[in-house]
Chain A
Amino acid sequence: MFLTDLEPSQIGRIVFFKGSDEFQVRLTEMGFKPEQKIRLIRKMAFNGPIQVRIRNSTVSLRYEDAACIHIELNE
């Protein structure tokens, strides 16, 4: 499943992500990496940016970008 499939308050674990090199580098630099826990805070209307909680910070990503991040549900 993808990060965008999470519902608010649901927690996932990152599996891997695709996208341009720059995108992948920036995500990694901001602490996105496999096994990292991530919680969806909210989605904006009309597929606007989503907000997530990761490593004690709140990060916002465009919907299209978030759809490049593969996760699995953290049970």
Chain B
Amino acid sequence: MNNHTPLVALIGNPNAGKTALFNALTGLNHKVSNYPGVTVERRVGKAQIEGAMVNIMDLPGTYSLIPESQDEAIVADEVNKWSRMVEKPVCIISVVDSTNLNRNLYLTSQLLDLGIPVLVALNMTDLARKKSLNIDTAELQKKLGCSVVVPVAARLEEGIDDLKNAVKTILDKKPLNKYSKMVPLPEPIRKAIQPVSDWFRKQKHFHSRMAQAQALRVVSSNNNGQFEEDGLSTLIETARRTVDNLGFPHSTLEATIRYHWLDQVVPPTDINIKTKTRSERIDNILTHPVLGPVIFIGILAFIFQSVFTWATVPMDWINNGISMFGDSVSGLLPAGIVRDLTVEGIIGGAGAILVFLPQILILIFFLALLEDSGYMARLAVMMDKAMTMVGLHGRSVLPLMIGYACAIPGIMSTRTINSWRERLVTILVTPLMSCSARIPVYALMIGAFVPAKQVWGFFGLQGLTLVLMYFLGTATALVLSLLFSRWIKADHNKSFIMELPPYRVPMMKSILRQVYTRGKVFITDAGKIIMVISICLWFLASFPRNETDNRTNSDITYSYASKIGHMIEPVIQPLGFDWKIGIGLVTSFAAREVMVSTMATIYNVEGEGDKIISLTDALKNDVDPVSGKHVYTPLVALSLMVFYVYAAQCMATFAVVRRETNSWKWPLFMIVYMTGLAYFASLIVYQGGLWLGFA
């Protein structure tokens, strides 16, 4: 990050609308992929403010600077960095939900003590107006002692210019609230924590307000191990005993004191607690003991059905477009190695993947829709009991659902789970959820070998087969989590407290933005890997060339790729796989979707002429030269799909697991258990199928 670009930090409660505000401020000027689900890491984007470039930092939502889970710890760590003057922002935008001002301002009151100008963005003013909550911004500013209060409606992009102007004013004039008054402490408490405040003032050179806030925090928080320096722990212990004796349990001291102040300054809005909200009425149906699960299963079935049916039209366009492109490139280049490499290797390989983009985007679209509407939070609550029974957590539902798109953001979103065992088990089983990289493999096999028949007049047989694959992965994930949670040591029992945001109509703009970002990341990231592998593979499959006069075998049988494939063949033959699939399995270790481009490259090299062939047709028509039988049967296709449900094939996932668990033990364990599972499940499917008489 450029040191000369001023930094502005966005901090707020979960669901206060930080991310919407971040998007409104930065436009599409941020690099980090934007997955549906909660923000679980810090990310920085650029914003133009009155001609000046400003870095905007978005942080995970938190209720407090005393963290309860990994995502909240990121905010606390960031703030601690600022107190050491590392990457300190010029101003903090404290994003608050104006319909629930009093609770949201708790975090603001903690931010006010940091000695950094605080700009309070009163978000969701449109909703507050509807509830006829009138907030006097000038009055609020005075009472809080913050720099400025700006009403905004981030989702409607209202007030964004006012907010930018306010930031600009702070950038120009610098601190306005630096030494304003701290939350008033009752005198006996102030005295009790005074030695600790003094320590921070002298040893850490904190200004008095921040020293007092820091003292209040360390006396309250349970983190004992952190302070081994210069007798600080003794000071803290003494302070805690004094405070306890005064009748304020020390652990809740900070929260009690701040709320005491807030309840006077900003009394809780007098909305009648009896008033039933619209969301409660919606919940009567969506979280109904019987209807709720039925609706959830219906939603899932609908999503998977549409992934398969709606996507076929754009998939045909892409397919035709790629063939036409390949043909025209083929016409332009002279015959030879360069043309073969471009048409067969690059266009053939990359094209085979691009076809599946519509399905991936449709899946992302629905996940974003569920998250943005507020349904995901209900799902966590609804599923908590069932999830605890299999050793998971209500909050495991979101990671597992995101796992349907990609295991990596799924694993990262486990940071919201506050108990280590449940978090680890969720990480271990999330890669079993069929991610979008498996869609190309499933789609290829289903498209080629499962007839497009209707079952019960409504469901397509192809869609049902896809659902079956997803079900297989999901069911196995749940069974294994039960097993894993038995032998992973539990930390002490943690609680489950979750706020349910109001239902709201999803903003198409923000959903389409997520879909767009995902599509871009898929094409660039996956594209790079696939491109490199496709090119390498083309060489391996094309060389050494057939120098003999024997033209009955195609060139590929003489190639390096064929030699490698034949070496693996004995191991995978019991699963029904031939050497071509073997090569695909090897390349899949980089990323699963590479399987499809691998097959495409192999068949293109093998095929006669320079036309790009349809992979589906090639698979259907592939005949064993010796036996004269079809190489791929529906049984082989099923065995291969089952293998892909379980196999550990994505290196990026294991790199993330290593980072999140901070050890190599767990990623290695995952590779072993997933590969073993894949092998034996496919073995059972293929050999069982043969035994039952399916050829």
Is the Cβ of A57 less than 8 Å from the Cβ of B103?
yes
Q: Is B195 an interface residue (CB 8 A)?
A: no
Is the Cβ of B497 less than 8 Å from the Cβ of A21?
no
Q: Is B86 an interface residue (CB 8 A)?
A: no
- Given A22-B494, A55-B100, A60-B497, CB of A29 within 8 Å of CB of B106: yes
Q: Which of A31-71 contact B (CB under 8 A)?
A: 31, 33, 37-39, 41-42, 44-49, 51, 53-62, 65
Selected contact of A44 from candidates B106, B255, B289, B497, CB within 8 Å: B289
Is the Cβ of B102 less than 8 Å from the Cβ of A58?
no
Is the Cβ of B495 less than 8 Å from the Cβ of A48?
no
Is the Cβ of A60 less than 8 Å from the Cβ of B500?
yes
Q: For B269, what are the chain A residues with a Cβ–Cβ distance below 8 Å?
A: 56
Q: For B103, what are the chain A residues with a Cβ–Cβ distance below 8 Å?
A: 30-31, 55-57
- Given A55-B102, A60-B381, A60-B500, CB of A28 within 8 Å of CB of B279: no
Is the Cβ of A58 less than 8 Å from the Cβ of B499?
yes
Whole-angstrom CA separation of A26 from B69 in the bound complex: 11
Whole-angstrom CA separation of A70 from B136 in the bound complex: 36
Selected contact of B497 from candidates A30, A38, A42, CB within 8 Å: A30
Selected contact of B251 from candidates A9, A25, A54, CB within 8 Å: A25
Binding stretch for chain A, among B60-68, B159-167, B171-179, B556-564? B60-68
| Distance from A73 Cβ to chain B, minimum over Cβ atoms (Å) | 13
Is the Cβ of A59 less than 8 Å from the Cβ of B384?
no
Whole-angstrom CA separation of A20 from B251 in the bound complex: 10
Q: For A46, what are the chain B residues with a Cβ–Cβ distance below 8 Å?
A: 385
Q: Is B273 an interface residue (CB 8 A)?
A: yes
Q: Is B639 an interface residue (CB 8 A)?
A: no
Q: Is B394 an interface residue (CB 8 A)?
A: yes
| Distance from B545 Cβ to chain A, minimum over Cβ atoms (Å) | 66
Bits for B102-120, please: 1 = Cβ < 8 Å to A, else 0.
1100100000000000000
Selected contact of A31 from candidates B106, B271, B493, CB within 8 Å: B106
Whole-angstrom CA separation of A28 from B63 in the bound complex: 11
Q: Is A3 an interface residue (CB 8 A)?
A: no
Whole-angstrom CA separation of A24 from B493 in the bound complex: 13
* Residue on A nearest B269 in the bound complex, by CB: A56
Report, as a range, how many residues of chain A touch the other chain: 35 or more
| Distance from A6 Cβ to chain B, minimum over Cβ atoms (Å) | 12
Is the Cβ of B63 less than 8 Å from the Cβ of A53?
no
Is the Cβ of A20 less than 8 Å from the Cβ of B385?
no
Bits for A1-16, please: 1 = Cβ < 8 Å to B, else 0.
0000000010100000
Whole-angstrom CA separation of A24 from B289 in the bound complex: 29
Whole-angstrom CA separation of A30 from B381 in the bound complex: 18
Selected contact of A29 from candidates B64, B385, B500, CB within 8 Å: B64
Q: For A39, what are the chain B residues with a Cβ–Cβ distance below 8 Å?
A: 273-274
Whole-angstrom CA separation of A60 from B502 in the bound complex: 13
Is the Cβ of A61 less than 8 Å from the Cβ of B268?
no
Selected contact of B495 from candidates A23, A31, A33, A58, CB within 8 Å: A23
Selected contact of B256 from candidates A21, A33, A42, A65, CB within 8 Å: A33
Is the Cβ of B496 less than 8 Å from the Cβ of A26?
no
| Distance from A34 Cβ to chain B, minimum over Cβ atoms (Å) | 10
* Residue on A nearest B384 in the bound complex, by CB: A49
Q: Is B328 an interface residue (CB 8 A)?
A: no
Selected contact of A59 from candidates B106, B279, B497, CB within 8 Å: B497
Is the Cβ of A49 less than 8 Å from the Cβ of B381?
yes
Q: For A61, what are the chain B residues with a Cβ–Cβ distance below 8 Å?
A: 495-498
Is the Cβ of A24 less than 8 Å from the Cβ of B252?
yes
- Given A11-B274, A29-B64, CB of A65 within 8 Å of CB of B499: no
Is the Cβ of B68 less than 8 Å from the Cβ of A26?
yes
Is the Cβ of B251 less than 8 Å from the Cβ of A56?
no
Is the Cβ of A41 less than 8 Å from the Cβ of B252?
no
Q: For B500, what are the chain A residues with a Cβ–Cβ distance below 8 Å?
A: 51, 58-60
Q: Is B277 an interface residue (CB 8 A)?
A: yes
8 A-B residue pairs with CB within 8 Å? A24-B252, A25-B251, A28-B255, A30-B103, A48-B384, A49-B498, A55-B102, A56-B99
Other than the given A46-B385, A49-B496, 16 more pairs (CB < 8 A) read A25-B222, A26-B497, A28-B256, A28-B259, A29-B63, A30-B499, A48-B381, A48-B382, A49-B498, A51-B287, A54-B273, A56-B100, A56-B103, A56-B271, A59-B497, A62-B496
Residues of B within 8 A of A (CB): 63-64, 66, 68, 99-100, 102-103, 106, 220-222, 249, 251-252, 255-256, 259, 268-269, 271, 273-274, 277, 279-280, 283-284, 287, 289, 381-382, 384-385, 394, 492-500, 502
